[in-house]
A and B are shown apart, each in its own frame.
Chain A
Amino acid sequence: MQILLSGQLLFAALVTGAVYVLVAFGLNLVYGTLRLLNVAHGEIVMVGAYTSFWLFTLAHISPLISLFAAIALAAALGAAIYLGLVRRLFASPRLLQRLEANSLLLFFAFSIVLQNVAALLFQPTPRAYQYLDRVIQLGNASVTENRLVILIVAVVLCIAIILFLRLHIYGLAIKALIQHREAASVVGIDVEKVQLLSFCLGFGLAALAGSLLSMTEQISPFMGFPYTIAAFVVVILGGLGNLVGGMVASLLLGVIETYGVAFTSSSLRSVLIYGIFILVLMIRPQGLLGSRMIVR
């Protein structure tokens, strides 16, 4: 009981939630602007994690620097996927007819390819490295420095994203597209360009999250899917394109996960995540925002 009330768990929940905020916002962006669910989102987290892992292991580059490389790599990947695959889906009327099923199969294929390319290149065994793992005292909680860094970066980024969406012309365009696609193009927004941008941004955020959590978690080629699931839960709970809602939902999920595991056992972690996911989907099939979410 003592440990449940300590700041230790609360801090762990905050860090988990902070990672989910970043992952989920990327998914939210892509889903919000294109209405396509990227089930390969977690694999981008994996790509980011491996980028930082290798740059640290081979060249001793701090993950705090290599995260920019991870973002750039993922954004390039996003642009390639958008221009090479996704645009084709929209271009063909026959594919557009069953867009959802086709796009899911496509992203699913993409995630399988990414997982197995990673497994082929880096071996399927989990890996980890140590960076900033000194323990410091924070109130009555002892935390490692890297977790503190994750939390700080996530907070700074959230503020930056909110400002970007409020103030920058492209941020406003993204918000417009999330709210109403047709209306957005009527008022002169270059839909193609904004979609490409949000694709790159979404991928970049996922890779950033991966890069950060590679400091604290074991990484493996198959680490991604639980993050896709977590992001999906957050997007549904928090609401489409709603960053503040997403932040609240991320923290909620972080708290549920951390405390749930602390109350039971760590072997139940996956059961807990998938259980929450299924409950959320079954109880609120259209999400908390209601039917607006699935209207194209």
Chain B
Amino acid sequence: MRRPLALAAWLGLIAAAVLVPPLLGDYGVAVALSLAMWVALAESWIVLSGMTGYVSLGHAVFYGLGAYVGVLLWNTVPSGFAIIAAGIASGGFAVIIGYPALRVRGPYFVMLTFGVAELVKYVVIDLEAGLGVFSRLILGGPSVIVLYYVMLCLAAAATAITFLVGRSRFGYALRAIRENEAAAETIGIAVGRFKLAAFALSAVIPGMVGAVAVARSTYFEPLSAFDPVVSFTMVTMAVIGGSDDLRGPLLGAAFLVGLSELLWANAPQIYMIILGVLLAIFVLFAPEGIAGRLFVPARRAVS
């Protein structure tokens, strides 16, 4: 009974998303685009941090790298290639950095991810300054509506990946690592390889999202592309929504995108303060997130 209902809900959601441009006009598309972007980012974050418990506070690095690769390639190769290249670059970077980084546990890993993101940010800033470039522009990029559909595909792909990983042996292995890494290793899970795969998987989509986002904003500037606020927003969305539930990031993203539409333009600091307070409240009082609060009691009532 529940399965077809859930399926219908997902299909309805996709249909509604596809119909945004003809029905809601320019502002609607702009908001939907940013919603799709955050869903894609937060769902990707979950593959690593929700499932393995290795909390990344530096996912902005993948988004920023994707944006950088995207802006470098955008005018030289077909845009599809630029987006794919951005995904590959971010995934590749995740493999390189993840190999040593994932040996580090707990708070050390969290700090390390933040540190790596900041390091890459400053390296790119120095690199661009060394090259004498202060911001790069994309001229004649695709229209906002095209970009919206691309971003929607990325959001759908990220959600599908999280869904499939969550159901697979791979996903169960990741959760086993979260609950007790030593025990997981004892029962034969290739802990190192699985963590690395989850890390890379959670980096590819943010890279592609970065490339699309840079085409949307039409310019690249390292300070905003690698802004720690991007990482922070991803984490907050996932935690508020519920970080081990497919629907969590969706709810968290919808909630925070709405909040940011209200506040970001006029009162960015108040928006950030609310974000921080919400994160603290959810960590302390509802670690299962909105999704956990909303759906678990209903599920019990059905069965």
Which of B4-12, B194-202, B273-281 faces chain A?
Answer: B273-281
A164 within 8 Å of B (CB atoms): no
Min distance, Cβ B109 to any Cβ of chain A, angstroms: 9
Please name the residue on chain A nearest to B57 by beta carbon.
A108
Min distance, Cβ A101 to any Cβ of chain B, angstroms: 5
Let me know if A102 and B119 touch, CB within 8 A. Answer: no
With contacts A98-B53, A282-B100, A285-B104 taken as known, whether A271 is within 8 angstroms of B287 at the C-beta atoms is no
Min distance, Cβ B13 to any Cβ of chain A, angstroms: 28
8 Å CB contacts to A: which residues of B243-282? Answer: 269-270, 272-273, 275-277, 279-280
Let me know if B276 and A104 touch, CB within 8 A. Answer: no
Contact of B273 among A117, A281, A285 (CB under 8 A): A117
A99-138 contact mask (Cβ, 8 Å, vs B): 1 or 0: 0111111101111110111011000000000000000000
Instruction: State in angstroms the CA–CA spacing of A260 and B273 once bound together.
Output: 36
Contact of A113 among B101, B103, B276 (CB under 8 A): B276
Let me know if B123 and A229 touch, CB within 8 A. Answer: no
Please name the residue on chain A nearest to B239 by beta carbon.
A105
Let me know if A268 and B283 touch, CB within 8 A. Answer: no
Q: Which residues of A contact B122 (CB under 8 A)?
A: 270-271, 274
A137-155 contact mask (Cβ, 8 Å, vs B): 1 or 0: 0000000000000000000
Instruction: State in angstroms the CA–CA spacing of A109 and B115 once bound together.
Output: 17
Let me know if B287 and A95 touch, CB within 8 A. Answer: yes
With contacts A274-B115, A281-B115, A294-B105 taken as known, whether A119 is within 8 angstroms of B277 at the C-beta atoms is no
Interface size class of B (residues with CB under 8 A): 35 or more
With contacts A112-B232, A274-B122 taken as known, whether A95 is within 8 angstroms of B115 at the C-beta atoms is no
Let me know if B269 and A109 touch, CB within 8 A. Answer: no
Instruction: State in angstroms the CA–CA spacing of A113 and B232 once bound together.
Output: 12
Instruction: State in angstroms the CA–CA spacing of A232 and B115 once bound together.
Output: 11
Instruction: State in angstroms the CA–CA spacing of A27 and B110 once bound together.
Output: 16
B118 within 8 Å of A (CB atoms): yes
**From A109, A113, A270, residue with most partner B Cβ within 10 Å:** A109
Q: Which residues of B contact A101 (CB under 8 A)?
A: 53, 55, 106, 110
B284 within 8 Å of A (CB atoms): yes
Please name the residue on chain B nearest to A35 by beta carbon.
B107
Let me know if A229 and B115 touch, CB within 8 A. Answer: yes
A24-65 contact mask (Cβ, 8 Å, vs B): 1 or 0: 000000000000110100000000000000000000000000
8 Å CB contacts to A: which residues of B97-145? Answer: 100-101, 103-108, 110-112, 114-116, 118-119, 122-123, 125-126, 129
A242-263 contact mask (Cβ, 8 Å, vs B): 1 or 0: 0000000000000000000000
Let me know if A102 and B279 touch, CB within 8 A. Answer: no
Please name the residue on chain A nearest to B229 by beta carbon.
A112
Min distance, Cβ A275 to any Cβ of chain B, angstroms: 6
Q: Which residues of B contact A275 (CB under 8 A)?
A: 119
Q: Which residues of A contact B112 (CB under 8 A)?
A: 278, 281-282
With contacts A112-B272, A116-B276 taken as known, whether A105 is within 8 angstroms of B235 at the C-beta atoms is yes
Q: Which residues of A contact B116 (CB under 8 A)?
A: 274, 278
Let me know if A271 and B53 touch, CB within 8 A. Answer: no
8 Å CB contacts to B: which residues of A171-195? Answer: none
With contacts A108-B57, A271-B123 taken as known, whether A282 is within 8 angstroms of B284 at the C-beta atoms is no
Let me know if A108 and B284 touch, CB within 8 A. Answer: no
Please name the residue on chain B nearest to A98 by beta carbon.
B53
Q: Which residues of B contact A85 (CB under 8 A)?
A: 280, 284
Q: Which residues of A contact B103 (CB under 8 A)?
A: 282, 285
Instruction: State in angstroms the CA–CA spacing of A39 and B101 once bound together.
Output: 19
Min distance, Cβ A291 to any Cβ of chain B, angstroms: 10
Instruction: State in angstroms the CA–CA spacing of A270 and B222 once bound together.
Output: 14
Q: Which residues of A contact B105 (CB under 8 A)?
A: 285, 294
A2 within 8 Å of B (CB atoms): no
Contact of B287 among A102, A108, A112, A281 (CB under 8 A): A102
Let me know if A112 and B123 touch, CB within 8 A. Answer: no
B222-247 contact mask (Cβ, 8 Å, vs A): 1 or 0: 00000000001001000100000000
Instruction: State in angstroms the CA–CA spacing of A271 and B269 once bound together.
Output: 27
Let me know if B129 and A267 touch, CB within 8 A. Answer: yes
Min distance, Cβ A226 to any Cβ of chain B, angstroms: 9
Instruction: State in angstroms the CA–CA spacing of A79 and B212 once bound together.
Output: 46
Min distance, Cβ A186 to any Cβ of chain B, angstroms: 26
Let me know if A109 and B272 touch, CB within 8 A. Answer: no
A89 within 8 Å of B (CB atoms): yes
Min distance, Cβ A47 to any Cβ of chain B, angstroms: 15
Min distance, Cβ B119 to any Cβ of chain A, angstroms: 4
Please name the residue on chain B nearest to A101 by beta carbon.
B55
Let me know if B284 and A278 touch, CB within 8 A. Answer: no
Let me know if B284 and A106 touch, CB within 8 A. Answer: yes
With contacts A39-B111, A120-B269 taken as known, whether A88 is within 8 angstroms of B284 at the C-beta atoms is yes
Instruction: State in angstroms the CA–CA spacing of A229 and B269 once bound together.
Output: 23
Please name the residue on chain A nearest to B279 by beta carbon.
A109
Q: Which residues of A contact B114 (CB under 8 A)?
A: 39
Instruction: State in angstroms the CA–CA spacing of A277 and B287 once bound together.
Output: 30
Q: Which residues of B contact A278 (CB under 8 A)?
A: 112, 115-116, 119
13 contacts between A and B (CB under 8 A): A36-B107, A85-B280, A85-B284, A105-B283, A108-B232, A109-B275, A267-B126, A270-B118, A274-B119, A277-B111, A278-B119, A281-B108, A282-B112
- The 8 nearest A-B residue pairs measured at CB: A274-B119, A113-B276, A112-B276, A109-B279, A37-B107, A116-B272, A109-B280, A120-B269
